[in-house]
Structure 1
Amino acid sequence: MSSSPAAVKAESLSQKDTWISIGIIGMLFFIFGFVSWVNAILIPYFKITFTLSNFDSYLVAFAFYISYLVMSLPSSYLLKAVGFKKGMMYGFFAMAVGAYLFIPAALTKTYELFLLGLFTLGTGLAVLQTAANPYVTILGPKERAAQRISIMGIFNKGAGILAPILFAAVVLRVGDSELFQQLDQMSPEAKDAATTELIRRVINPYAVVGTVLVALGVFVRFSPLPEIDTEHESEEVAQANSGKTSILQFPHLILGAFAIFLHVGTQVIAIDTVIPYANSFGISLLDAKVFPSFTLAFTILGYLIGISLIPKFISQVNVLRICTLLGTVLTLLIVFASGPIQFWGMTVDISILFVVLLGLANSLVWAGIWPLALDGLGRFTKVGASILIMGLCGNAIMPMIYGYFADLYSVKMAYWVLLPCYLYLVFYAVKGHQIKSWKS
C-alpha cells in the first residue's frame, strides 16, 4: 500500500505531538550516532589486532557505509509498503543481527565476518535514516528544518562523543599501550594469543548492543510516534510536479545527493582519521582516543549556534555557505600548518587541532542540504530521501581514498582529498540547490 491508513499530515499535529515525535526521533539519532561513531576507535583497534594497512583498516568504514548505497532505495520501497514505524522496527532488528555477528567473528577471529556484521548494521541504519531524516525535515515549518535537524544532530553527535570513550573504557586496559608496542616483537604463537584475547573483548559489548536494538525496535513500533503522510501533495506542489515521472527530474536533489556524499566523507575522515593522525606524532591510542570526542563536541557547538540563530538571525542557506567555506580554509591549514601547542594536557601538532575544528565546519552542512534538496518533492519525498541516504556511501568511499593516499604519501598529505569536496559543497550552497531544471 502507498500509505498507512493511520497516516496524518504533519501540519495537523498538535504542538505536544510534534515535540513527542521530535523526542522519539532524537532517540533514533542517538542510536545512529552511537553505532556509527564507535568506528572511530574500531578502525585503529582492528588495525592493531589484525595487523592491517591504513587502506585495509578503513574497510571498517567501507563495509559499514556501503550498505547505504545498496539498501537505501529498497528501504524507500519498504517504507512505502509498511509505513515509517514498522520500517523503523525492521531497521532496528537488522542492526541487532549485525551486532550479534560480532560474537562469532570474535570467536573465530575473522575480519571478514566483522565486516559482514558492520554491513548488516549499516543496512538497518539505512532503513532508519531513510525514515528519520525526511520525517524530521517535514515535521514543522520548512524554514526551521535546519533548526530541527540541528537538534537531531546534538543527539547524534552527543552519542558520538560517548561511543569511543565508552568502547575504550570497556575494551582497552591500562597496560595495552605497552602490549601494542610489543606485538611486533612477539613470537607468532604469543602474538596470536595476545591478539585473540584483544579481539574477544568486543563480544560482551556487542551482545548488549544487539539486545538493546531489539528492544528499541519493539518500542518504536508501539510508541506514540504518528505516521506522517508524504504521499499526498499540496495543490501547489502537485501542479509543479504534474509533468514529472522520475526522481531524476529534480536536479537540485541529485546534486544534493552528491553533496551529501562528499559531506559525510569529509565528516567521517575528520573523525575516523584523527586518532591514526595523532599516532603519527607519537601520541598513544589511549591518549588519542579523546580527539574524536573533541571533534564531535565542536560539531555540537555548531548545532547550538544553528539552533540559536536559524532562521531569526541568519538563513539556513547562508549558514551552509559559511560552514563549507570554513571547511575549505581548515583543509588548507591542516596541510600547511605545523608546530607544537598544548592541548588537553598534551603537546600536539597544531594541525591536529585543525582536524578537530573540522567538526565545527561540518556541523550544519547536513542540516543545510536536506531541506534544500527535498524542497518541492511532494509524493517523491520518500524516494528522494532514499537517494540522499545513498549519498552516505561517501562514508565508505572517501576514507578508502584517504587511506590509499596515506599509504602512498603520508597521513598528513592525504588530507588534500578534502579540498575538492569542500569546493563542491561551496558550489551547492551558492548555486547548485537553485537548479530546478537540467535545462537551466
Structure 2
Amino acid sequence: MPSTTSAVRADQLSSRDTWISIGIIGILFFIFGFVSWVNAILIPYFKIAFTLSNFDSYLVAFAFYISYLVMSVPSSYLLRAVGFKKGMMYGFFAMSLGAFLFVPAAMVRTYELFLLGLFTLGTGLAVLQTAANPYVTVLGPKERAAQRISIMGIFNKGAGILAPLLFAAVVLKVGDSELFQQLDQMGPEAKDAALGELIRRVMVPYAVVGVVLLGLGIFVRFSPLPEIDTEHESEALAEANSGKHSILQFPHLILGAFAIFLHVGTQVIAIDTVIPYANSFGISLLDAKVLPSFTLAFTILGYLIGISLIPKVISQVNVLRICTLLGSCLTLLIVYGSGPIQFWGMEMDISILFVVLLGLANSLVWAGIWPLALDGLGRFTKLGASIMIMGLCGNAIMPMIYGHFADIYSERTAYWVLFPCYLYLVFYAVKGHQIRTWKSS
C-alpha cells in the first residue's frame, strides 16, 4: 500500500487545495470525454470503411467498454498498492499504448487490431475512472457531491462535443459523400483502394493522441494533486461497518452499480446511435455528424442546471428522480413520435430530436447515483468504486443489444431497449438507494 504519511483526509484540505484538485481532475474528465465520445463517429466511420452490419459496427463500443468489466477490480487493487496518482499515471500509459495501436491497425487495415487498440484504451480508462470518480466524490461535503460531479461532467461532455467534430474535420473530406455513394458501384480493386485510403486517415490523429496521453501520465504523476486517504474511517462509520467484511454487504452499492450499468448504456445509445438513426431517414454522415454534439450540449445544460440548483433549491436525489422520469417519457416519444421538423438547417423526423434530448435526461443521473451508492462505505470505498466502474460495461453491452434489434426490426423499434432501463433507474432513485440490508423487514 502507498505510504499513509503522505495521504490526507479530504476534510483536511484547504479550500485552495480542493479547487486545485478539482481543476486537475477536470482535465482528466476532459480526456475521458474526448477519448470516449469520439466513438460516436468512429462507429459509422468503421461501418463504411469495413462494410459492417449494425451489430458488427457496435463492436467498437463493446471492445472499448468491456475492459471496464475486466479491469475494474484489478484497478482497485492497483490503486490500493500504489495510490491514486501513480495509478492514474499507469492508466494514461495504457491509454497511450491503445492509441498507438491504431497506427499498425490502419496500415494493415485489420478491424480486429483496431478493436484491440480500443480495448487497451478502455483498460487505461478503467484505471483512471476507478481513481477519479471516488476521488471527486469524497473531495468535499457529500451533499454537494452531485454538484462537483456535474462540474466534472461539463469537462467530460465538453470534450465529447469537440471530439466527433475534430475527428470529422481531420478524417472526412468534402467529396466523401459522393465517395460513399459510389462504393457499391466500384470494382473490387478500386473499392479496396478507396477503403484502404479511408482507414489510413486515422493514423496521424491517433499517433498525436498517443503522445498527448503519454505526456499527461507524466504530468499527473508530478502534479500537486494530493493523495486522499480513504482507508481510515471516522469512529461512527467504523462502528457502523464493524460487522461487514464483504463489499456484497452493501445492497445500495450493488443496486447502484447495476443502475450505472443501465445508465451508461442509455447514455451511449443516445449518443452513438443518433447518427445511424438519422442516416435511416436519408440524412448523410457529413450532415448528421453534429447530432452527437447537440446531445452532449443538452447534457451540459443539465449539468449547469444541477450546479445552480443543487443542494440549495433541490436535493440531488430529487434531481435524479426527475431525470429518470424524463428519460422514460422521451423513450416513448422516440418510438411513437413522428413528423417533419427543421433543426440546424436539416429537415428531420421529430423522433431524432427526442433522441438528442435524451442528453438532458441523462445529464444528472451519473452525478445522482455515485454519492448515493458510495454513502457509508468507508474503508470499502476504493473497492466499491471499482464495482461501480464495472457497471460501465453497460456501454459495451447495451449498444450491442440495440444493434441486434436494429438489424432484426428497425433503428426506431430498437429504442424500446431504453424503456426498462429507465424504469429501473426510477426505482433506484425512489427506493433502491435506501436499501441497507438484503433481508426483508
Residue 265 of structure 2 corresponds to residue 265 of structure 1? yes
1:64 and 2:64 are equivalent in the alignment: yes
In structure 2, the residue matched to 1:126 is 126
2:253 maps to: 253
Give the equivalent residue in structure 2 for 1:216: 216
**Residue 326 (structure 1) aligned with residue 326 (structure 2):** yes
The one-letter code sitting in structure 2 at the alignment partner of 1:15 is S
Determine whether 1:153 maps to 2:157: no
DSSP 3-state at the match of 1:412:
helix
1:117 and 2:121 are equivalent in the alignment: no
**Partners in 1 of 2:437 and 2:376 — Cα distance?**
13
Question: What residue is the counterpart of 1:359 in the other structure?
Answer: 359
Match of 2:87 in 1: 87
Per the alignment, residue 167 of structure 1 pairs with 167
Q: What residue is the counterpart of 1:412 in the other structure?
A: 412
How many Å separate the matches in 2 of 1:2 and 1:194?
Answer: 52
CA displacement 1:261-287 (0-9 Å, x = unmatched) = 000000000000000000000000000
Matched with 1:310 is 310
Superposed counterparts of 1:382-393, under 5 Å: 382-393=382-393
Output the amino acid matched with 1:292. Answer: P
- Please name the residue that 1:141 is paired with: 141
For 2:299 and 2:4, the matched residues in 1 are separated by: 36
In structure 2, the partner of 1:31 is 31
**Regions of 4+ moved over 4 Å:** none
CA separation in 2, counterparts of 1:205 and 1:439? 53
Letter paired with 2:137: T
SS in 2 for 1:436: coil
**Number of aligned residues:** 440
Give secondary structure in 1 for the equivalent of 2:189: helix
**For the residues of structure 2 that align with 1:377 and 1:225, how far apart are their CA atoms?**
23
Once the two structures are TM-superposed, the CA of residue 3 in structure 1 deviates from its matched residue by 5.2
In 2, the alpha carbon distance for the partners of 1:237 and 1:195 equals 59
Kindly state the Cα deviation for residue 363 of structure 1 after the two structures are TM-superposed.
Answer: 0.1
Which AA in structure 1 matches 2:329?
Answer: V
Seq. identity, %: 88
Partner of 1:108: 108
2-structure distance, mates of 1:429, 1:297 = 24
Distance 1:286 1:237, change over 3 A: same
Q: Secondary structure at the match of 1:283?
A: coil
For the pair 1:75 / 2:75, whether they are aligned, the reply is yes
What amino acid maps onto 2:306 in structure 1?
G
Match of 1:424 in 2: 424
* Partner SS for 2:259: helix
SS in 1 for 2:174: coil
Aligned partner of 1:398 in structure 2 is 398
Shift of 1:87: 0.1
- CA positional deviation for 1:206: 0.1
Distance in 2, matches of 1:190 and 1:234, equals 69
Distance in 2 (CA, whole Å) between partners of 1:208 and 1:118 is: 16
Structure 1: runs of 5 or more not aligned: none
The question of whether the paired residues in 2 share the 8 Å contact of 1:3 and 1:81 is answered with no
TM-score between the two structures when normalised by the length of structure 2 = 0.99
> 2-side partners of 1:229 and 1:153: how far apart?
24
Aligned equivalent of 1:242: 242
| Matched residue type, 1:385 | A
Q: Contact 1:230/1:382 (CA < 8 Å) preserved in 2?
A: yes
Cα distance, 1:2 vs structure 2:
5.8
Partner of 2:44: 44
- Quick one: distance in 1 between partners of 2:185 and 2:411? 25
Q: Matches of 1:97 and 1:395 in 2, distance apart?
A: 21
What letter corresponds to residue 410 of structure 2 in structure 1?
A: S
Query: Could you list the per-position Cα deviations for residues 275-317 of structure 1 after superposition, in whole angstroms to 9, with x for gaps in the alignment?
Result: 0000000000000000000000000000000000000000000
CA contact under 8 A between 1:326 and 1:361: conserved in structure 2? Answer: yes
Residue 22 of structure 1 is matched in structure 2 by 22
2:17 partner letter: D
- Say which SS state the counterpart of residue 324 (structure 2) adopts: helix
Contact kept, 8 Å, 1:2 with 1:231, in 2: the verdict is no
Query: Deviation string for 1:105-143 (max 9, x for gaps)?
Result: 000000000000000000000000000000000000000
TM-score by length of 1: 1.00
Tell me which amino acid in the other structure corresponds to 1:287: D
Deviations 1:175-211 (A, max 9, x none): 0001011111111100000000000000000000000
Displacement of 1:5: 3.4
Show the counterpart of 2:204: 204
